[in-house]
Amino acid sequence: MNQKIAFVSGASGLVGMQILHQLFQEPSYSYVISLGRRELALKHHKLIQLKVDFDKLHLLHLTEKIRDQNRGGDYHALIQGLDGKHVEIHAFCSLGTTIKDAGSKEKFRQIDHDYVVDFANWSLQQGATKFLYVSALGADPRSSIFYNKVKGEVEEDLKLIPFDYLGIFQPSVLLGNRGKTRLGEEIGKIAMQVVTFLGIMKKYKPIYDHQVAKAMLRSALSPSDKNVQTIVNLEML
């Protein structure tokens, strides 16, 4: 039986960190390979952190990068499995930012669209059979709202990549500990909690980061007769 390997991008974010913790606890996965611009202050026997430049992701040679960290020979079986295509790979993507943090709409689109699609294509080249992506409720390539439009375009472009399974997860307002406060988001959370408490717009009920991560792992480990599946907010609660 092939061992399962998980790729994770966006691990420093709210949902990404929960994906890591869920993967650490899930015995089905032997290794968790996190790709990021910087290393996380996090250690786990399953975790391999690869510092990457997402602008040049297509140049990344996975097994060579892992070999550089294999001083004790701990990853020999993993490298053999990757080279021989004897592993089952699931890729989890929660890459994303805000226009404010990105600095411009162009930079936002580069991170939220280009880097996501590039990561998906790279994952497929490594042999990934399943791709699980954190999108957003309201994603629509025809939307007049720039954020929703970009998320919708990502979804459509991911559908063109021939994974055995593509899971698209559309959470509403995310709850969890970001480590820094965004005033607009905090106001939005309170407002959405009020309207859902009153029974209005239930589909927009705020959702915790760990609920999204748990739904992603559940989908990754469950057989599906669909090549593409969109999991909306209410289905993750």
pLDDT digits (tens, 9 = 90+) for 56-114: 999 999 999 999 988 778 899 999 999 999 999 999 999 999 999 999 999 999 999 99
pLDDT score of 73:
83
CATH code, domain with 127: 3.40.50.720
- The separation between CA 13 and the C-alpha centre of its own chain, rounded to angstroms, equals 9
Q: How many domains does the chain have?
A: 1
Look at residue 48 and tell me whether its pLDDT is greater than 80: yes
pLDDT score of 177:
84
pLDDT digits (tens, 9 = 90+) for 17-28: 999 999 999 999
Mean pLDDT (the chain) is 91
**Domain range holding 45?**
3-236
DSSP assignments along the chain, one per residue: -PEEEEEEESTTSHHHHHHHHHHHH-TTEEEEEEEESS--S---TTEEEEE--GGGGGG--HHHHHHHT-TTSTTHHHHHHHHTT-EEEEEEE-----HHHHSSHHHHHIIIIIHHHHHHHHHHHHTEEEEEEE--TT--TT-SSHHHHHHHHHHHHHTTS--SEEEEEE--SEES--SS--HHHHHHHHHHHHHHHTTS-GGG--EEHHHHHHHHHHHHHS--S-SEEEEEHHHH-
**Angle at alpha carbon of residue 8, lines to 146 and 165, rounded to 5°:** 80
pLDDT score of 80:
93
pLDDT score of 180:
56
* Least confident segment among 98-107, 117-126, 175-184: 175-184
